[in-house]
Chains A and B, each alone.
Chain A
Amino acid sequence: MRKYDCLVIGGGPAGLAAAISAHKNGAHTLLIEREARLGGILKQCIHDGFGLVRYGEKLSGPEYAERFIDVFNEEKIEALTLTFVTRIAKTVEGFAVTLVNRDGVEIVASKTLILATGCRERTAKQVSIHGTRPAGVFTAGTAQHFTNLLGEMPTKKCVILGSGDIGLIMARRLTLEGAEVLGVYEAKPTPSGLTRNIHQCLHDYNIPLYLSHTVTRVFGEDRLSAVETAEVDEKMQPVPGTEAIVDCDALILSVGLIPENELAEALGVALDPKTKGPVCNAQLMTCVDGVFSCGNALHVNDLVDYVSESGENAGENAAKYAKRPRNEIPVDSSGALLYAVPQRLDLAADNSSVQLYFRSREVLDGCTFKIIVDGETVFSKKYPFLRPPEMEKLTVDFSRFNLTPQSKITLDIEVKPNA
């Protein structure tokens, strides 16, 4: 049986960064990817804007991914593509992982696992729309796959439901290729995508954004022929009398992403209901010893730069991993936060530069992010504004706060009027 120190599942930007970092920290590493090529979802994200934080350059998705793939290949790290993980069993030394590919079935052993399986899109099943089920209803990711990898236009005239970033990016992309995007309909009163994408993808191309609006019905026999839209009230219920029929040949859904964690759950990894990803400590280790998580499997990121960073963090810690008892305390978030990662701190580990990621629950102007330990504010940072679509990142030295197993840590955001 082949034996590794570290087995990375998923070959997107998170998994690539994790494998490179584990390898550079001395771990014998293997990466498993179910698709034919490495790069993950970035293969189809041909627009630019990747790597602004990391490289100060506006790279396209493939360029960003290939920089990592180049390093991965130069370092001669082992990878198996077109390979599926079918079973993971815990052993005394770590894990026995069953792999299936064209060569057959193989079991490999690894001391640690890094789950970098990315996220998946919410589909039509997860939003309630009435009517027939014609062809022409698909997710923004599927539309992206058709347009950018297969070179086939999936629509001539469409409506986009949801203002997630992939939907906004596709609104621009389809417009550039000559399709008509009749509007982006968002049930919430504020957009879910990045503000810059609202501007550079919709406003630049005069594509209307209808906030507090949704699609209630689809029409069509074989192919979609029209949708019914309506305004919604604060409870997200359609307002009678506001219905409108819009003729189109496709309805594109951009209604959110969910971390992909089937393997994690099968291993008994606890998930955070807020992030839908594993509960982790600052080393990005889940509640199962030796199992790490990073990238969009951990929480849905809006910037790939942070995805790579979390991969590097997980890779380094997996390489340095040695089984020992943990001494963990929770990091609680107040209701002002949508979520925060990590959710726990291991007092037996080095917490001198913890990478803290958080999102506010609402759009806030002039506010202060605070770390409170036992009722006392030990860290604060002012923000001119916080918006849920734009994740914030801080590096915090938690070792200064004299934490004990009894300490109560809470993250909070305070809004000061006129601040």
Chain B
Amino acid sequence: MRELVCIVCPKGCTMHIDEKDGETIITGNTCKRGEKFAISEMTEPKRTICSTVRTSFDEMPVLPVRVSDEIPKDRIFDVMAEINKVCLKERVRRGEPVIKNVLGLGVDVIATSDILKDI
């Protein structure tokens, strides 16, 4: 038996994963998303990450960014290394990509604020 906490929503249900006759039985989740999360955790765990990128604007030295969708958990630090290489020279807007298809993972790194546009 394995215990797992669902991190999909703030409720944070504690789930139990059992094997019975070659079948996986998941209990303790309040909703379906928990089950999906548990299966993904056991096969290919994924996470989202948020960070900042440097800019060349004195008023706002960094701009917040995140990945547009989940990435494999074991690639987090690889993606962080890519994010830390960026120095923005354009006034990127909220939702616009800062890195397209980062490391070929099929997700973009996008800006999460309009501050550069406003200053």
Which A residues are closer than 8 A to B by beta carbons? 37, 46-49, 52-53, 58-60, 62-63, 66, 147-151, 173, 176-177, 194-196, 198-200, 204, 302-303, 384-385, 387, 390
Contacts and interface: CB of A to CB of B under 8 A. Distances in A.
A199 B5 CA distance: 7
24 contacts: A37-B118, A46-B64, A46-B66, A48-B48, A53-B9, A58-B48, A60-B64, A62-B112, A63-B113, A66-B113, A148-B64, A173-B51, A176-B49, A176-B76, A194-B12, A195-B12, A195-B14, A196-B5, A199-B5, A199-B12, A200-B47, A204-B73, A302-B10, A390-B12
B5 to A, nearest CB: 5
B50 interface: yes
Contacts of B91: none
A57 to B, nearest CB: 11
Task: Identify the 4 closest CB pairs spanning chains A and B, nearest first.
Answer: A195-B12, A151-B62, A62-B113, A46-B64
Contact of A195 (B5, B62, B64): B5
Given A52-B10, A63-B94, 7 more contacts: A46-B52, A66-B114, A177-B80, A199-B7, A384-B30, A390-B11, A390-B12
Nearest to A67: B94
Given A63-B113, A151-B62, A384-B30, A196 B10 contact: yes
Contacts of A385: 14
A73 B34 CA distance: 38
Given A58-B48, A60-B112, A200-B47, A48 B66 contact: yes
Contacts of B61: 150-151
Nearest to B112: A60
Contacts of A199: 5, 7, 12
A303 B10 CA distance: 8
A200 B62 contact: no
Contacts of B73: 204
Given A66-B113, A149-B62, A384-B30, A47 B10 contact: no
B115 interface: yes
> Most A CB atoms within 10 A — which of B12, B61, B115, B118?
B12
Contacts of B49: 176
